[in-house]
Amino acid sequence: MRRVIILLLTQVLLWALLAELNHGLSGWQVHVFGGALFVVYPALYLGRKEGLLVAAWAGLLCDAHSPVAFGTHGLLFAAAHLLLFRARERVPRHDPVSQILVVLFTNLALFLGLSLFRLLVAPAPGGAWGRLLPDLVASQVTLALGAVWFLGLQDRLVRLGDVWAALRGHRD
Amino acid sequence: MPFKRISQANPLLTLGLIVAAWLLLPTAVKTVARASFFELTAPVTLAASRVRDLQDFWALRARSRTELIEAGRDLARVNASFELAVQQNGELRAEVARLEELLRLSPLRDHRLEHARVARRDFSGWWQRIVIRKGRDHEIPVGAPVVFSGGVVGRVSEVHATTAVVELISSPTMRLAGVVEGDTRPISFQGGVNPTLAPPRGVVELMPLDIIASPAVPKRLVTAGFGGVFPPGLTLGTIIRADLASDGLFKSGEVALDPRLGTLTEVSVLVPVAPASAPVRATP
């Protein structure tokens, strides 16, 4: 449970950072979507239930700030978590390059999934891709640059939590 | 442990069970959960906004006194012209009230201006929204129009304890009635696809055939005032292109919206007031 709480706090940090980034980019009509960062670490390193809880919680957090049916992000993130969890034994998950590739592919899938959900209700779905493709490129570039840092931060905080718990247990 | 065995065997089955459970969850529970998640993170949004304000404050403190004196002089000139406009506005209001009484018309809907700082802008290809730093605590209602010096910003779509969410007119799902300035025939306006590195855009439909608009001869599009939400005459944008629609009965076209929509820092919410109350006033 300690690991889950630590990761939930990092999810809030990530959400706030992305919100600030998008606030700053709004003048250029550019939007960065970083959904994969909410999902990848829990799916690669946590247990099935713990990871699912963290991913779904992050999804609901994103849902609360988006004009989509509540649960859309949650279900997409949960689906991404379950698929990644199943494939994680076949991925060299401690290699930074592999981590970046996993983040990029997951983000691509989540972006397309969310776009399909949105375009179902959009008045002119055809023209929307002219805007969505530059957003996707911006998102992938940002994630390629920042994914290792964020995954490293999550890993470091989880390890610190483990050490703190071990020291506390030793003292008791 | 049968669920555990199933979930380990097939993740898609697990996902299907989660989706089914989610769909069966009562709407009230989802509504409460959504509001709770929003309110839980509202302090983060507000804190970030306050930090930005502080940054601006210290940046302004670095300005020289000469610059401040010049800015004060320019502001005094603007204030003088606005004071004159306020006097003329008062006279026109009195005239409108006199005519309403004479012709026994129902009075126009009155509003008070509630100024609010923009806490967060969220402009994606899917939606265009801002979060403002006033909510139920300032009696902001859902559906209230939001304006700025360049015209209409959008409409309040969600109201929370200390914040409110405004859907912008550039949002693809935003639709409202407008008229070309000087014309009375309604036109359907809708937020459009907002291209990257370009000002926001909208589209118009059901435009009469005799209205001609092009980049050389743009037409100002204003709110029609139908439906009672937006007062008439507020600027929506400029029609820069109008072509014959596929049905041949109307024209459709493109609207250039104010480029400042992308960098809004302060807006005003038009909060409806009861007809018997005081006229438009600004609250600090």
- Cβ-defined contact of B124 to A31 (cutoff 8 Å): yes
**CA angle B118-B236-B177, nearest 5°?**
115
pLDDT beneath 50: ranges in chain A: none
Nearest CA in chain A to B191: A123
Helix, strand or coil, per DSSP, at residue B187: strand
pLDDT at residue A22 in the model: 96
Contacts of A71 in chain B (CB under 8 A): 22, 30
Residues of B in contact with A16 (CB under 8 A): 41, 44-45, 48
Q: Which residue of A has its CA nearest to B260?
A: A27
Q: Where are the domains of chain B?
A: 2-61, 65-108, 175-263
Which ipTM did the prediction report?
Answer: 0.89
Distance CA B266, CA B167 (A): 15
Alpha helix stretches (DSSP H) within B62-189: 65-103
- Contact flag A67-B129 (C-beta cutoff 8 Å): yes
Nearest residue in A to B9, CA atom: A86
pLDDT above 80: residue B4 = no
Chain A partners of B169 at a C-beta cutoff of 8 Å? Answer: none
**The CATH number, out of the four listed (3.30.70, 1.10.1760, 3.10.20, 1.10.3470), of the domain defined by the range A2-171:** 1.10.1760
A168 Cα to chain B: minimum distance (Å)? 30
Minimum distance, in Å, between the CA of residue A4 and any CA atom of chain B:
17
Contact B254, B203 (CB under 8 A): yes
pLDDT of residue B283: 46
pLDDT of A100: 94
Asked whether the beta carbons of B199 and B237 are under 8 A apart, the reply is no
Higher-confidence residue: B156 or B227? B156
Give residue B201's identity as a one-letter amino acid code: R
What percent of chain B is modeled with pLDDT above 90? 64
pLDDT at A89: 87
Superfamily of chain region B175-263: Rod shape-determining protein MreC, domain 2 (2.40.10.350)
With CB atoms and an 8 Å threshold, state whether B124 touches A127.
no
pLDDT in tens, B190-229: 998 888 888 899 999 999 999 999 999 999 999 998 877 8
CB contact under 8 A, A123 and B30: no
Q: What is the pLDDT of residue B7?
A: 54
What is the sign, positive or negative, of the torsion defined by CA atoms of B123, B194, B247, B222? Answer: positive
Where are the domains positioned within chain A?
A: 2-171
The mean pLDDT value of chain B amounts to 88
pLDDT digits (tens, 9 = 90+) for A61-93: 999 999 999 999 999 999 999 999 988 888 888
pLDDT at residue B276 greater than cutoff 60: no
Q: Give per-residue pLDDT as tens, B41-91.
A: 999 999 999 999 999 999 988 889 899 899 999 999 999 999 999 999 999
